[in-house]
Structure 1
Amino acid sequence: MKRILAILVALLLMAPLMTACGNQEGLQDGYYTAQASEFSHGWKEYITILVKGGSIVSVEYNAENASGFIKSWDNTYMQNMLHSNGTYPNEYTRYYANQLLEGQGEGGIDAITGATSSYGSFQILAQAVLEQARVGDSSIVFVDTAH
């Protein structure tokens, strides 16, 4: 009887540890968004993540102009940036988002040459959106991304 009781007590003590292992960084399930508080060069960047089962399952990183048009859809901007910087929004937004998804907010994000300004903004927005997910606050957080 004492042995059974000891096993039960041990299992009860281990239960919080086992649930914490499956819950990456204590992320709460839901959608979370961090958005730049100001426009920069006509665009306002944002990150939206979806957390399920304590893990990030989806990441969207992009920017929109004052009318709500998405930066990675702007073909003229894409062509101009590709020729001057060697990259373009549809490439680097997916790259940065994928690194956040793969690293689950734990790993570092590698910068892409030609998109260093967006890299800095992404880092700031990623930290803010992860904090929102940790506390379970699904309201949009507005962040100063000026660097």
Structure 2
Amino acid sequence: MRKRSYRIITVILAVIVISVGIVCLTGCSQSSNALKDGYYTAEMAEYNNGWKEYLTVFVRGGKIVSAEYNARNASGFIKSWDMDYMRLMNANMGTYPNQYTRNYAKQFLETQQADAVDAIAGATTSYGSFGDLAQAVIDHAKAGNTEIAIVPG
């Protein structure tokens, strides 16, 4: 009976050791690509038509859980708050900053990928900037680099 007990204990210990080894290897291989918790921001290097776009994300548990995409002018005024700009852009393009910035951020949260966001007609210039900003925050989040990423235009 003792031999059987030792065999069972040996098998259980072997399973535990193998399981721990697999978890360690899996965790180690994913750690280089995992996003590190924290806030990460990327902004365009230059103003475009008076606005500098930026993207700020919050990562928790290795996943982007919030994203704010917008633009500000030299005085710090937020593009989505500019009602005159909104009316003019909506009349000419069929969209406006408060609409497309939220849409791009929402898609990014859903996909967790910079290149999986669909363009919105009328906001294609911002779409290009958003993709560059999203990739920059992902790169910084992988490295745990909380400095603002400056993205060339």
* TM-score normalised per structure 1: 0.90
Instruction: Establish whether residue 60 from structure 1 lines up as the match of residue 68 from structure 2.
Output: yes
How far has the Cα of 1:107 moved from its partner? 6.2
Kindly indicate whether the alpha-carbon contact (under 8 Å) linking 1:20 and 1:26 is maintained by their aligned counterparts in 2.
Answer: no
For 1:90, what is the secondary structure of its paired residue?
helix
The answer for the alignment partner of 1:79 in structure 2 is 87
The answer for the alignment partner of 2:126 in structure 1 is 118
1:9 corresponds, among 14, 17, 26, to 17
How far has the Cα of 1:20 moved from its partner? 7.3
Structure 1 residue runs without a partner (length 5+): none
1:33 corresponds, among 12, 20, 41, to 41
The answer for the alignment partner of 1:129 in structure 2 is 137
Q: 1:82 to 1:38 in 2, by over 3 A?
A: same
* TM-score normalised per structure 2: 0.87
The answer for the alignment partner of 1:90 in structure 2 is 98
Q: Which amino acid aligns with 1:100?
A: F
How far has the Cα of 1:19 moved from its partner? 4.6
Kindly indicate whether the alpha-carbon contact (under 8 Å) linking 1:50 and 1:56 is maintained by their aligned counterparts in 2.
Answer: yes
Structure 2 residue runs without a partner (length 5+): 1-8
For 1:26, what is the secondary structure of its paired residue?
coil
How far has the Cα of 1:104 moved from its partner? 1.5
State the alpha-carbon separation in 1 of the partners of residues 120 and 25 from structure 2: 38
Kindly indicate whether the alpha-carbon contact (under 8 Å) linking 1:22 and 1:54 is maintained by their aligned counterparts in 2.
Answer: no
State the alpha-carbon separation in 1 of the partners of residues 28 and 115 from structure 2: 19
Deviations 1:25-53 (A, max 9, x none): 50000000000010000000000000011
The answer for the alignment partner of 1:140 in structure 2 is 148
Q: 1:21 to 1:76 in 2, by over 3 A?
A: farther
State the alpha-carbon separation in 1 of the partners of residues 54 and 126 from structure 2: 10
CA RMSD of aligned residues (A): 2.0
How far has the Cα of 1:56 moved from its partner? 0.8
| Percent identity for Structure 1 against Structure 2 | 53
